[in-house]
Amino acid sequence: MSNATAQAGVQVTPAQWDTLPVAQLTAHPGNVRDIKVPAKFQADIKANGVQEPLYVVRTHGDVPQVIDGFRRLAAAVAAGLETVPFTARPVIRIDALTPHPQNAREELDINAAFVESLRSEGCRVPVKVQRLDGGVVQVNDGNRRFFGAQEAGLTHLPYEWDDDDRDAAGQFLDMITTAQHRKALSHGEMTAAMFSASEAGAQVGRIAKAAGVRQKDVKAVVKVKGDKALSDAVASGTYAWTFDQLAALSEFADDAEALATITEAAEEAEDDDADEVDWAIRIERTKREKRAKAGAHRAELEKAGQKVRDMAELSDRATPVWRLKTPDGGRITAEGHAECKGQVWVLEDAEDEQLKPYCTSPALYGHAEPGSPMGGSGKSTAQKEAEKVARAAVKKGNLEWDAAETRRREWLTDLIKRRNLPKDTTNTLIGHVNAALLGGTWGICDDLNKEPTTNILAGLLGLTGDKAKHRTDFPEHVAKDPRRAPQLQFAAVAAVREKNAPRAAWRTDDQRAPWYRTPTGKWFAILEALGYQLTPIEQSVKDNEPYDPNKKKRAAITAAEPEQADQAPADDAAAA
């Protein structure tokens, strides 16, 4: 028998039924009956073959036993047919069924995923039917399957007879009890079943259709479940990992530390809150991107013949170039220090994108630090330790800021590329654009055409490669639909806003920059009104509150869909 055996009884067209040799069936005496076949029926079988499958089961010794279809088999023998279609379970034609006139479900929820699952794998659960007066065969249980199968193009459904004496009250009670007894698979059970199906030989497309998910979701499950480190990570707790999170996990299969951090976030997540895990993934992804950039910078320096060292190799005398002074107190620039024999390049922190120039011995090479004429900072051990802790907090805050910036711009890109936005959202975008252009605020006049703005705008518009090189060509590479004008104009304004929202905006220490923080807070308020959900570090800027990167906090990062956003308050639009 062919692969279709598993789908017997649920095929879309008779041509797709499994078949059995007539000789194999007639070899079993129990299948041969003395039946008089009507001439009209015999002529139809001879002309068109057997269209309705025989219901055949396997008895002891693997003998095929016909349960229903003796007349069709007799006609096939008389017509000289070699094979007949069969099903391993009882089926009934859909056009022979009548839905229950008072089905308990007001909303059947026959969605595309459900229909595709039926089309791919057929109906696996029999409908329960009852024969009424006049020969009507009514579906007492399974009306959703009945209507879904029609949309999927199925011709038959598996069925079982309801009790003949079941009264109308009993039918409604059955609707209640069968609905209550059904329990959907948990997300973990679903992913485990998908992986088992893959191991058993099911192709990705077939699994996706049966489960009603995307093919990339199936691939993510298979990859994670097939890797021991990843599988152990997701199996260590009760958290229900989303498909997107499983796909992201595969990026860290070779990074035990990152996996541990993400898994810890999953263990601490409250009520399967995806926010915590999404944020942990975002942070780890940002770290990886920074390490890649640092690796590229190091390779560039080494190619240029520069000396590169690890921080651990430097003595306590080593000092970053930006802190150095000449003996008379003058400033030493990076360019001015380039020829110093004591210059080396180091990666100060694992998450830095660039290596920094250091002088291995300022006193030896004639430099000085502020506060000390020739070497030495003049600071106590306690002061140095306090500075070290403060620098670590700043680095952590910068990392979170960078991760939030990437996420924020992805959200903006999604908003800008949407074809249809609610009228309120569109009006809000227009209000921001008008306020920015007519009021000339927030650097629109000064920064609109600067290179950093152009680079950000290209990203928001989804332009890459050659399309992102020349600003004057941008209009040629975006949608010409005039209905998208508000989004495109807003993109230009947003690029300026983002250009003027640097890391310094979150700082409230001695490096605070209120000229960045204040307008950035207003910008975040506008985005929040549009439906963007601020991360804690962004929220602190919007609220003009200090931010402590080391404080234990919940990471609210699930953004609402832009089209669901309410209109921003009028005074916020005016403040733009």
CB 220 within 8 A of CB 248: no
Give the count of domains, the chain.
5
Token pair of 361, please? Answer: 């011995």
CA torsion through residues 123, 124, 129, 135, sign: positive
- Average pLDDT over the chain, rounded to whole? 82
Regarding whether 219 and 205 lie in a shared domain, the answer is yes
Regarding whether 256 and 347 lie in a shared domain, the answer is no
Which residues on neighbouring strands pair with residue 325, listed in sequence order?
Answer: 331, 368
Q: Would the pLDDT of 77 be above 60?
A: yes
Is residue 166 in a domain? yes
CB 88 within 8 A of CB 9: yes
Regarding whether 544 and 428 lie in a shared domain, the answer is yes
Q: Would the pLDDT of 557 be above 80?
A: no
- Looking at residue 568, its pLDDT comes to 36
- Looking at residue 206, its pLDDT comes to 78
Q: Give the residue from 346, 378, 410 where a domain finishes.
A: 378
Q: Which domain holds residue 113?
A: 94-181
pLDDT tens digit sequence for 164-214: 555 655 555 555 555 544 555 667 777 877 887 787 788 888 788 777 788
Q: Which residues contact 122 (CB under 8 A, 6 or more apart)?
A: 7, 9, 10, 11, 154
| Percentages of the chain per state (helix, strand, coil), in multiples of 5 | 55, 10, 35
Regarding whether 494 and 571 lie in a shared domain, the answer is yes
Phi, psi of 488 (to 5 degrees): -70, -40
Per-residue pLDDT averaged across 148-163, rounded? Answer: 80
CA distance 370 to 134: 103
- Looking at residue 33, its pLDDT comes to 84
CB 342 within 8 A of CB 377: no
Is residue 356 in a domain? yes
Per-residue pLDDT averaged across 257-275, rounded? Answer: 82
- Looking at residue 170, its pLDDT comes to 54
Token pair of 103, please? Answer: 């089905």
Q: Which of 291, 247, 241, 249 is nearest to 266 (CA)?
A: 241
- Looking at residue 567, its pLDDT comes to 36
Per-residue pLDDT averaged across 123-143, rounded? Answer: 80
Q: Which residues contact 231 (CB under 8 A, 6 or more apart)?
A: 224, 225
Which residues on neighbouring strands pair with residue 68, listed in sequence order?
Answer: 55
Is residue 257 in a domain? yes
CA torsion through residues 447, 450, 456, 461, sign: positive
CA distance 441 to 430: 15
Regarding whether 403 and 265 lie in a shared domain, the answer is no
Q: Which of 358, 354, 359 is nearest to 299 (CA)?
A: 354
Report the side by side order of strands in the sheet with 319-320. 308-309, 343-346, 356-359, 319-320
Regarding whether 519 and 438 lie in a shared domain, the answer is yes
pLDDT tens digit sequence for 202-252: 888 878 877 778 888 888 888 888 888 888 888 877 788 888 888 888 889
CA distance 300 to 450: 27
Is residue 536 in a domain? yes
CA torsion through residues 194, 195, 199, 205, sign: positive
Is residue 194 in a domain? yes
Per-residue pLDDT averaged across 321-348, rounded? Answer: 89
Angstrom distances, CA of residue 174 to CA of 104, 182, 226, 504: 10, 12, 42, 65
Q: Would the pLDDT of 572 be above 50?
A: no
CB 332 within 8 A of CB 368: no
Token pair of 393, please? Answer: 């907090």
Regarding whether 171 and 313 lie in a shared domain, the answer is no
Is residue 294 in a domain? no
Regarding whether 117 and 77 lie in a shared domain, the answer is no
Regarding whether 199 and 130 lie in a shared domain, the answer is no
CA distance 126 to 178: 13
Q: Would the pLDDT of 543 be above 90?
A: yes
Angstrom distances, CA of residue 50 to CA of 19, 85, 115, 155, 315: 10, 7, 28, 15, 90
- Looking at residue 1, its pLDDT comes to 37
Regarding whether 411 and 507 lie in a shared domain, the answer is yes
- Looking at residue 10, its pLDDT comes to 37
- Looking at residue 287, its pLDDT comes to 92
| Strands, E assignment, 149-228 | 156-161
pLDDT tens digit sequence for 428-457: 999 999 988 888 777 788 888 899 999 999
The pLDDT > 90 percentage for the chain reads: 33
pLDDT tens digit sequence for 376-386: 556 677 877 88
**Counts of helices then strands in the chain (DSSP H, E):** 22, 13
Does 443 or 130 have the greater pLDDT score?
A: 130
Could you tell me the CATH number of the domain that includes residue 169?
3.90.1530.30
Q: Give the residue from 89, 120, 148 where a domain finishes.
A: 89
Regarding whether 455 and 315 lie in a shared domain, the answer is no
Angstrom distances, CA of residue 437 to CA of 110, 432, 434, 443, 460: 48, 9, 5, 10, 19
Is residue 299 in a domain? no
Is residue 293 in a domain? no
- Looking at residue 383, its pLDDT comes to 78
Angstrom distances, CA of residue 426 to CA of 444, 487, 530: 20, 8, 10
pLDDT tens digit sequence for 343-378: 999 998 888 899 999 999 988 988 876 555 445 556
Q: Which of 187, 235, 229 is nearest to 212 (CA)?
A: 187
Q: Would the pLDDT of 503 be above 50?
A: yes
CA distance 101 to 310: 78
Strands 156-161 and 137-141, bridge-based pairing: unpaired
Q: Would the pLDDT of 564 be above 50?
A: no
* Residue 366 C-alpha from the chain's centroid: 56
Regarding whether 569 and 460 lie in a shared domain, the answer is yes
